[in-house]
Structure 1
Amino acid sequence: MKSFNLHLYLVTDEAAKCRHSLLETVRKAVDGGVTIVQYRSTNPDAGTCYREALPIRDFLAARGIPFIVNNRVDLALALDADGVHIGQRDLPVPSVRAMIGPDKILGLSVSNMDQLRAVDASLVDYLGMGPVFPTISKLNAPPVLGVEGFAALASRSPLPVVAIGGLDAERARQVRATGTAAGIAAVSAICGAEDRKPPHGRWPDCLPGNAGKKPFFQTPCLHHPALSAPSPQIWKKSGRRPRWFSP
């Protein structure tokens, strides 16, 4: 059984693009309010990725923060990661679910209505949707949605949605104001920050119910249509489908 909070989602950038080591970047980001971390690398050398990701996984496990691996199911299994995030050109969702089992978190990237309609909500736990704004962290990214386009698409989702793509604290506020995002994902805005924390400490403050720093899993996710109770909400993974619940 897994619980996860999509509130503020860090996707790591390539180590060479970060001002500091990936591990140090993740440490400071968690101190700054990040609630879930995805390890993303384009390095084809699995051994190098494993050695780079292992200390990050161990640090996050000690802090109770979910550790997700992008794309590489083999790497996720070797690391015993909490989950995998895949894109539209990666292995099919049913195959990935079969490989990782029912208790791991599975995220899927979508960028248009056709992809959203094809989502099997019985197999996927959350969606990464974007890019909301132009992004420099991913080559060959899909067309930009914009805030209104994101909101229109996210409002049709049967699953919680994490906004991604060119987001900084101010843009995150714009997305949050639509009431359609369960979380905000950041890449270069955090990995490239001088102090490695969410810039100027403003990221947690731009999210509802998270002014200042509060303990992990005690702050509500961004407003989502599935949320109606005023009590704190988190995602609880049980079997193949998560459900909203109030602890």
Structure 2
Amino acid sequence: MSSFKYKLYLVTNQQACRQRDFFDVVEAAVKGGVDLVQIREKELDEKQFLYKTLKLKALLDKYNVPLIVNDSLTIAMQSHAAGIHVGNSDLSPAAVKTKWPDAGILGYSLEHLDQLKTNNAAISDYIALSPVFSSTTKTDTLIEWGLEGVRLVRSLTDKPLVAIGNIHAGNASALVTAGANCLAVISAICSSDDPEKAAALIRNEIEKAIPNS
């Protein structure tokens, strides 16, 4: 767990930015305390996706914030991103390791408890519980983990746990107390009137809930 020190993880969503400049929103979030960013693009073709990823990486490099690419190994490798996040309908973590042995951070979404026992989970750098609470920005999921699910998975693994799904300042502390190491946020930051302030509020709740912080 020592190599994964991140606490507030922004998962980008163009629609959630409410027609504001995507890069301005991300930069504000980073200034507010986001220390890891994932670019998630389902609507762009590969050329557009790569262009946007490269532009975002250049922005994040100024703040020493790593960039994770969702799903696309090609884009992750071409952009020299810090890593990749995959689910169970994507390229497997084992395949990622084979094709991109230099991947710095490899994230894996856990959709049901049995997957925790698989090699995919074992070789990943962090496990994402998706969603912890139902969310309108991610509807292709099987279960809602809830706080009890976070506690259960925490009791079964030493892997860093990233919670995602309808997370905001009001539930951040409870999730960290339940065992989440890092909180991944979309709408509560991207759709906020003040993304920097929203990120800062969530980051503050995380820090207060961390034991001995």
* Residue 188 of structure 2: aligned partner: 189
Note closer, same or farther for the CA distance 1:193–1:79 as it changes in structure 2 (3 Å cut): same
Matches within 5 A, 1:32-43: 32-43=32-43
CA distance in 1, matches of 2:198, 2:10: 13
Note closer, same or farther for the CA distance 1:172–1:67 as it changes in structure 2 (3 Å cut): same
Letter in 1 for 2:136: I
Asked whether the 8 Å contact 2:108–2:120 carries over to 1, the reply is: no
Question: Secondary structure at 2:75's aligned position in 1?
Answer: helix
CA distance in 1, matches of 2:69, 2:99: 14
Note closer, same or farther for the CA distance 1:181–1:198 as it changes in structure 2 (3 Å cut): farther
How many percent of aligned residue pairs carry the same amino acid? 31
* Residue 48 of structure 2: aligned partner: 48
Letter in 2 for 1:186: V
CA distance in 1, matches of 2:85, 2:42: 14
- Equivalent pairs counted in the alignment come to 210
> How far does residue 150 in structure 1 lie from its aligned partner after superposition?
2.0
Matches within 5 A, 1:9-20: 9-13=9-13, 15-19=14-18, 20=20
Letter in 2 for 1:78: Q
Q: TM-score, normalised by structure 1?
A: 0.79
Asked whether the 8 Å contact 2:129–2:145 carries over to 1, the reply is: no
Letter in 2 for 1:18: C
Asked whether the 8 Å contact 2:4–2:160 carries over to 1, the reply is: no
Question: Secondary structure at 1:207's aligned position in 2?
Answer: helix
* Residue 226 of structure 1: aligned partner: none
CA distance in 2, matches of 1:183, 1:207: 8
Q: CA RMSD in A?
A: 2.0
More helix per residue: 2
> How far does residue 102 in structure 1 lie from its aligned partner after superposition?
3.7
Asked whether the 8 Å contact 1:6–1:162 carries over to 2, the reply is: no
> How far does residue 100 in structure 1 lie from its aligned partner after superposition?
1.8
CA distance in 1, matches of 2:43, 2:197: 26
Q: Cα deviations across residues 11-43 of structure 1 (Å, max 9, x unaligned)? A: 001x23312222111100000000100000102
> Structure 2 stretches of 5 or more lacking a match?
none
> How far does residue 119 in structure 1 lie from its aligned partner after superposition?
4.0
* Residue 202 of structure 2: aligned partner: 203
> How far does residue 203 in structure 1 lie from its aligned partner after superposition?
1.0
> How far does residue 157 in structure 1 lie from its aligned partner after superposition?
2.0
Question: Secondary structure at 1:199's aligned position in 2?
Answer: helix
Note closer, same or farther for the CA distance 1:198–1:139 as it changes in structure 2 (3 Å cut): farther
Worse-matched range after superposition: 190-199 or 82-91 = 190-199
Asked whether the 8 Å contact 1:68–1:76 carries over to 2, the reply is: yes
Q: Cα deviations across residues 133-190 of structure 1 (Å, max 9, x unaligned)? A: 1101112222111111221123212310011111111111111122x11111101111
* Residue 235 of structure 1: aligned partner: none
**Superposition misfits of 4+ residues, deviation over 6 angstroms:** none
Q: TM-score, normalised by structure 2?
A: 0.90
User: Are positions 1:70 and 2:70 aligned together?
Assistant: yes
* Residue 87 of structure 2: aligned partner: 87
CA distance in 2, matches of 1:182, 1:209: 13
